[in-house]
Amino acid sequence: MKFFPYITYFLIFGFLCGGEPRLRTLPLWPDLAPGEVEGEVGPEEEKPPKPGEKGILRITNVSQPTLTVYPANPAKANGSAVLVCPGGGYGILAYEHEGTDVCQWLNEMGVTGILLKYRVPRRKDRPKHEAPLQDSQRALGLVRKHAKSWGINPSKLGILGFSAGGHLSVMTLTSFHERTYSRIDEADDLSCRPDFGILVYPAYLVDRTTRDSLFPEVVIREDTPPCFFVHTGDDHVPAEGSALAYLALEKAGVVGNELHLFPFGGHGYGMRKTDRAVSEWPDRAESWMRATGWLD
């Protein structure tokens, strides 16, 4: 199956009476994504909630990745944008509380949210993050290609991820020196380096048993962008991953990092409010973005 001709298509919700901007959705690739085999996964679908769950949207079998633009209101827009990567163990995408809700929160700060629907589940005989990394790199180039028409400053483009999406964000933050796929068009001539990262309980950074060093695939250098981290001590995904990544950034001389380790809160809370202190993380992230100049 081929995509529509490679032009931006729109999911137009219109300018509502409150003046809300329209959403734009476009495919990442003009044809099959790199390495894709048609029919390798089933049709894209939503997974039903688990017993007792409310407000949890899971999407799986994504073979035609997209990005959806949530523009900031022009009255408060500051030119910043953030590529949002939902989590889901590289098997599904937690598309609401780690996706659409995040973009709406970003809009409240005058930031344009860019929701990435990357390929899941993991492809056979490929590293878990290989196809998603191609998608995130391609997405950053596309955003910069359209930056002027979308009211975005191409030098104020960050990435935010949860769990597996946090791992994808880390790989994107550290693997920007070259594309992981062959050039498609002029969007691939533009930088795929995020300007900053927000990492919420990022997964797959350390071995869950030893927890004493980052995996070799995580290579942090002096040109790695600054990052904000959130994790809890009772998370089954080790908080040492966030702590060690933070320390590696500091040792590399990267300026402007921030780390928050809370005692309780578990995993997968996303934007949902609970009675745990970790629910304050969006406020802390906003303060960090303001202090580091991304909301100027």
Greatest CA span in the chain, whole angstroms?
Answer: 55
Confidence at residue 47, expressed as pLDDT on a 0 to 100 scale: 86
Any domain includes 76: yes
Q: What CATH code is carried by the domain that includes residue 175?
A: 3.40.50.1820
Any domain includes 42: no
Quote the domain boundaries for residue 152.
Answer: 9-31+55-291
Any domain includes 156: yes
Confidence at residue 86, expressed as pLDDT on a 0 to 100 scale: 98
Q: Per residue in 187-209, is it b (16+ CB within 10 Å) or e — as a string?
A: bbeeebbbbbbbbbbbbbbbeee
Any domain includes 49: no
Any domain includes 47: no
Any domain includes 43: no
Any domain includes 183: yes
Residue-wise pLDDT for 68-102, tens only, equals: 999 999 999 999 999 999 999 999 999 999 999 99
What share of the chain has pLDDT > 70, as a percent? 93
Rounded to the nearest 5°, which phi and psi values hold at 35?
80, 0
Residue-wise pLDDT for 7-20, tens only, equals: 233 333 333 334 45
Any domain includes 143: yes
Residue-wise pLDDT for 253-270, tens only, equals: 999 999 999 999 999 999
As a whole number of angstroms, the distance between CA 118 and CA 92 comes to: 10
Question: What is the domain count for the chain?
Answer: 1
Cβ atoms < 10 Å from Cβ of 35: 15
pTM over 0.95: no
Confidence at residue 21, expressed as pLDDT on a 0 to 100 scale: 58
